[in-house]
């Protein structure tokens, strides 16, 4: 069975229960698939959520302000659900796009996809408690556009896990701190879900770190210099950040990198 063709069907599927069922089928029959192909992968023209989400520029996505009403709760949860759904397709695309690599590479990103499906279901169940569902608010497609622009393994590992997902480690911690102010049962429920996601996202970033450095070694490139060269080519005038230092260190970032990325002076 052709591993890559089966992955393509899962990625483009816009029926969420069917998508997850197809993924489970893939995982249960993984030993039947061939991990080799001479065919070139497709560059997808639109994300799978385009059929049920209205896509707008990032500036027009509803602002996540407050947590007092069901709508405000839903806006925050919808943004997280969208990130988790996007992360599923990104993990699958990492398997689909880069071919004939060590089997360990594919097992790593399939494991990430499996986690992201669980994270999606966890946050989506909370979203539905507010009376809203995925697709009720506009979304942006920045992650999908980043996947279109990263058509080689080095840039994909640098930009998706080592930039966007690593930024998620920082953002998750800030959201948890913000929600603690509300001290009410539903906010606490969301906090517990976010803590699970934060803990499990660190290994995802670490997998990106591993395969970025693997590709740097294969191409005889210095990792830190190469990383910032790629980041600079994608994000002009990027700003220094408030970092989740412990999470980033666990995920493979060096102290030297954190000192370049960090808004504050970093001791590590």
pLDDT at 207: 98
Q: Has residue 197 been placed in a domain?
A: yes
Confidence of residue 131 (pLDDT cuts 50, 70, 90): very high
10 Å CB burial of residue 111 (0-12, 13-18, 19+) is middle
Q: Has residue 129 been placed in a domain?
A: yes
How close are the terminal C-alpha atoms of the chain, in Å?
48
Mean pLDDT for 16-21 is: 98
Q: Has residue 22 been placed in a domain?
A: yes
Q: Is the per-residue pLDDT at 87 higher than 90?
A: yes
Percent of the chain at pLDDT > 90 equals 94
pLDDT at 35: 84
Q: Is the per-residue pLDDT at 23 higher than 90?
A: yes
Mean pLDDT for 82-94 is: 98
Average pLDDT, the chain: 96
| CATH code, 27 | 1.20.1260
Domain count within the chain? 1
pLDDT at 112: 98
pLDDT at 265: 82
Mean pLDDT for 196-216 is: 98
Instruction: Say how far apart CA 14 and CA 11 lie, in whole Å.
Output: 8
Q: Has residue 267 been placed in a domain?
A: no
Q: Has residue 105 been placed in a domain?
A: yes
Q: Has residue 39 been placed in a domain?
A: no
Q: Has residue 141 been placed in a domain?
A: yes
Q: Is the per-residue pLDDT at 53 higher than 80?
A: yes
Q: Is the per-residue pLDDT at 136 higher than 80?
A: yes
Mean pLDDT for 162-167 is: 97
Instruction: Name the residue range of residue 197's domain.
Output: 3-34+48-261
Q: What is the pTM of this model?
A: 0.96
Is-contact 100 36, C-beta < 8 A?
yes
Q: Has residue 173 been placed in a domain?
A: yes
Confidence of residue 230 (pLDDT cuts 50, 70, 90): very high
């Amino acid at each position: 069975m052709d591993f890559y063709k089966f992955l393509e069907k899962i990625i483009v599927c816009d029926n969420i229960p069917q998508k997850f069922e197809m993924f489970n089928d893939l995982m249960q029959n993984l030993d039947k698939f061939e991990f080799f192909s001479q065919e070139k992968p497709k560059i997808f023209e639109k994300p799978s959520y385009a059929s049920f989400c209205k896509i707008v520029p990032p500036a027009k996505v509803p602002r996540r302000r407050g947590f007092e009403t069901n709508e405000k709760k839903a806006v925050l949860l919808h943004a997280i659900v969208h990130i988790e759904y996007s992360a599923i397709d990104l993990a699958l695309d990492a398997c689909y796009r880069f071919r004939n690599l060590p089997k360990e590479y594919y097992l790593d990103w399939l494991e990430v996809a499996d986690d992201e499906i669980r994270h999606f279901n966890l946050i989506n169940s909370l979203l539905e408690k507010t009376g809203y569902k995925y697709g009720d608010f506009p979304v942006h497609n920045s992650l999908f556009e980043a996947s279109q622009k990263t058509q080689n393994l080095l840039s994909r590992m640098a930009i998706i896990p080592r930039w966007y997902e690593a930024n998620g480690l920082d953002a998750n911690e800030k959201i948890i701190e913000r929600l603690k102010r509300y001290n009410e049962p539903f906010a606490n429920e969301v906090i517990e879900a976010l803590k699970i996601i934060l803990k499990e996202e660190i290994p995802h970033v670490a997998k990106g770190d591993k395969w970025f450095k693997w590709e740097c070694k294969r191409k005889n490139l210095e990792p830190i210099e190469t990383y910032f060269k790629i980041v600079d080519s994608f994000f002009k005038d990027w700003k220094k950040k408030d970092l989740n230092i412990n999470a980033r260190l666990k995920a493979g970032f060096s102290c030297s990198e954190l000192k370049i990325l960090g808004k504050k002076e970093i001791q590590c």
